[in-house]
Structure 1
Amino acid sequence: MRKIGIYSIAIICFIALCFLGYYAVQAQNGNPASTDETESSSGYRLVLITKELDTPFWDKVGEGAMAAAARNHASIEVWGSYGLNEQDFLKEMEIAIASKVDGIIVQGLDTAEFKQLAMYKATENGIPVITVANDVPMNESLRKTYVGSNHFEAGQMIARQLLSDMGFNGKVVLLTEDRQEDFQRARLKGILEVLNNYPMIHTDIVDSGNSREQVVKATNNVLNRIPDVRAFVTTTANNASAIIQEIEKRRKVDNYLIYSFDDSPETQKLVKQGKIDAIVSQSPQEMGEMSVDLMISWLKGELLPLSSDGYYTDIRVLKAEKRK
């Protein structure tokens, strides 16, 4: 009987060891069903915030961000405001921080309120911020990095195209908004960096305001004050059609060279019509994808630190048919 008892205990121990071994192997190799469930439940929660919802450019940024989030088993929501409403935009930032999302990807806004939210509230809550398309200075916002166009280089590109079209002699009007964002200042700096090397090129920087009516008025004043102006460059794409509208009331647009930035449906149409001579086209879908990939890499600790200078996406000059 004693031997039978010993054998029984041995058999039970052997069976137990087999079960333990089986589950150890399963844990080592990973159970496909349980792995998917874990990835789904532990995926990072991200938010993309813009102050220009439902525009072609930001729709593409959102598409790229969602594709990258799906690839990385993360969730992402696109928030924002309509009609450039800054207060609604800032409120979305506050809600994202209060919701304790894992990361915020946001269109940079060069205001004290935005920088305070990014530098203090987001940082204090341990939420990394990446700016996309529009940047703000890193030391004023503590954003982790920037993803988007090199706007300084974009300004240089449009200036070189202008020189190729016009030559090295003439008067050029640079139209800017009264409150410039960081990307607009960078574009203007790039333009001047090139044009200032040519003493026979005379540049005139004009504040065109923020509304269409102000742009029209500014253009009319330029045509009166500088009748022999050869070229117009606007650092804001939305202003191009207003400039052309005012010129067409008085003269043929063909008498002037007109340049802008961003390939919105409106500017693309004006380029095809030959009314805009060239624009700098950006890569919004690439911006969305890259910003999410970099955020995930930072959260996983795979890429530390992120480049403070930013990560630049592709830009290219699109010329009117008559200029090709």
Structure 2
Amino acid sequence: MPSAEATAESDGAVMDEGARADACDEDYSVQADDWLSKIADKFYGDVLAYPAIVDATNAAAAAGGNYDVIDNADVIEPGWTLCIPTADDAQALLSGEMSAGSAAPAAGETTMAEGEAAMTEGAYNFVLVPKNLGNPYFDTANTGAQEAAAELGVNVTYQGSATADATEQIQLLNSLIAQQVNGLAVSANDSDALVPTGAEAIAAGIPVVSWDAEIAPGGRTLHVLQAVSEDIGRGQIQLISDLIGGEGQIAILSATSTAPNQNEWIMWMQDELTKPEYANIELVATVYGDDEDEKSYNEAQGLMKTYPDLKGIISPTTVGIAAAARAVQDAGKVGEVMVTGLGTPNQMREYVKSGASPAFALWNPGDLGYLAIYALNALASGDITGAPGDTFEAGKLGSYTVDEDGVVLLGPPTVFNADNIDNFDF
């Protein structure tokens, strides 16, 4: 089936009276571990067919049926009732052959996600796979990926699961391989666990670019590295040391325990702490919020309760740093417990200005997604093979060279603080 991404705005699908019976072959109750592409794969054997379910469900709801409106294709809730069209109707919805009265979008409207271009027939179909959906960091990366797609004349869809889970990510990748997409750009939830699946894709002629979090060699064609891991890790300790005056207890709030990039950064943080200038800083705990806001918030609260003398929290994840800063504010400990880590300016602006997180660092995730798609296009077109020394052009970012480890380096991170944060918007 042709692929498309959907935001599924409820006013973008209108159903004529009585159309529900024709559009819905059966009803489906969303389960706790479901996401739309998984449901599409279940019914159609095609993870990219989910916009048909979105359109049919919203149209059935608009016609007065007992269905839940899907405002965002990345978010569905357990217990929701979805309208599952027949395979033929799903095909017609995706191709635009079915009218709005049968659950397709109204004339002139699109089922593409906000910020994505309409699908281009005959162009490469790439898929950007984040660790999880609903994460502002990865959403920003997708914005950059869509910018690259528009410049290159390729299609990029944004597919992932609701949670940062390696098993679910592997299931999605297997489905995409079966669909014979033209390239995969993946932020790995587990560096080693994804190797067999990545190798299978490569064997099928599908280039695999890992980005943000690496798939180990053997499971990817090349890796786009946001910044040198050593620089990130050491820089985090330097930041927290400056914020707490070079002494006191600190803790780390990471994403998942298997996240390869966070684990490498933490290793370099620990190494940096062995230097004499940090002799008065004690790392008391490393905890994991699984890149979930509520869990990260609770872990930050737990750190402050368990260690009443805690002076700082480092969270090298955009979900965790915002949750930790909010926890510090809510606990009335602004100025007592300093938060730093990796975050985006838009989510961290209020915490920088309140003093909960006076300074933090990050590269531009939009540029990371942009570069990943340019690298994937260079591989798919045969301009490069991913071999050391290969060079390619990446639009506004300029020329890049693949290093001896099959890695392309985006560039150094930026430190954001009250003096410069209003100069950035991502």
Pairwise TM-score range, normalised by the shorter structure: 0.7 to 0.9
Aligned residue in 2 for 1:68: 148
**Offset, 1:93:** 1.2
- Aligned equivalent of 1:107, options 179, 187, 190: 187
Contact residue 210 and residue 220 of structure 2 kept, 8 A: no
Aligned residue in 2 for 1:234: 315
**Equivalent position SS for 2:253:** strand
* Whole-angstrom distance in 2 between the partners of 1:203 and 1:153: 19
Does 2:159 correspond to 1:79?
Answer: yes
Does 2:270 correspond to 1:192?
Answer: yes
Shift in CA distance, 246/314, structure 1 to aligned 2, threshold 3 Å: closer
Aligned residue in 1 for 2:133: 53
Identity of aligned residues (%): 18
Aligned residue in 2 for 1:131: 210
**Offset, 1:262:** 1.9
- Aligned equivalent of 1:266, options 338, 347, 359: 347
Contact residue 254 and residue 289 of structure 2 kept, 8 A: yes
| Structure with higher helix content | 1
* Whole-angstrom distance in 1 between the partners of 2:160 and 2:294: 26
Aligned residue in 1 for 2:196: 116
**Offset, 1:128:** 1.2
Aligned residue in 2 for 1:156: 234
Question: Residues 170-189 of structure 1 correspond to what in structure 2 (within 5 A)?
Answer: 170-177=248-255, 179-189=257-267
Aligned residue in 2 for 1:254: 335
**Offset, 1:181:** 0.4
Shift in CA distance, 42/195, structure 1 to aligned 2, threshold 3 Å: same
- Aligned equivalent of 1:300, options 377, 381, 398: 381
Question: Residues 271-282 of structure 1 correspond to what in structure 2 (within 5 A)?
Answer: 271-282=352-363
**Equivalent position SS for 1:302:** coil
Does 2:189 correspond to 1:91?
Answer: no
* Whole-angstrom distance in 1 between the partners of 2:213 and 2:225: 8
* Whole-angstrom distance in 1 between the partners of 2:301 and 2:374: 46
* Whole-angstrom distance in 2 between the partners of 1:68 and 1:216: 34
Q: Spell out, residue by residue over 1:75-109, the C-alpha distance to the aligned partner (whole angstroms, 9 max, x if none).
A: 32222233446555333312221122221111222
Shift in CA distance, 247/50, structure 1 to aligned 2, threshold 3 Å: closer
- Aligned equivalent of 1:203, options 283, 295, 302: 283
The amino acid of 1:266's aligned partner reads Q
**Offset, 1:255:** 1.4
**Equivalent position SS for 2:360:** strand
Aligned residue in 2 for 1:288: 369
**Offset, 1:184:** 0.7
* Whole-angstrom distance in 1 between the partners of 2:141 and 2:330: 36
**Offset, 1:143:** 3.8
Shift in CA distance, 250/63, structure 1 to aligned 2, threshold 3 Å: closer
* Whole-angstrom distance in 2 between the partners of 1:320 and 1:261: 15
* Whole-angstrom distance in 1 between the partners of 2:381 and 2:316: 38
- Farther-moved stretch of structure 1 (100-109 vs 243-252): 243-252
* Whole-angstrom distance in 2 between the partners of 1:224 and 1:81: 33
Q: TM-score, normalised by structure 2?
A: 0.58
**Equivalent position SS for 1:258:** strand
Contact residue 174 and residue 233 of structure 1 kept, 8 A: yes
Gaps of 5+ in 1: 1-39
Contact residue 206 and residue 218 of structure 1 kept, 8 A: no
Gaps of 5+ in 2: 1-119, 388-401, 422-426
Shift in CA distance, 72/175, structure 1 to aligned 2, threshold 3 Å: closer
- Farther-moved stretch of structure 1 (163-172 vs 124-133): 163-172
Q: Spell out, residue by residue over 1:32-51, the C-alpha distance to the aligned partner (whole angstroms, 9 max, x if none).
A: xxxxxxxx876433221224
* Whole-angstrom distance in 2 between the partners of 1:280 and 1:97: 35
Contact residue 211 and residue 372 of structure 2 kept, 8 A: yes
**Structure number with higher relative contact order (C-alpha < 8 Å, ≥ 6 residues apart):** 1
Q: TM-score, normalised by structure 1?
A: 0.74
Aligned residue in 2 for 1:25: none
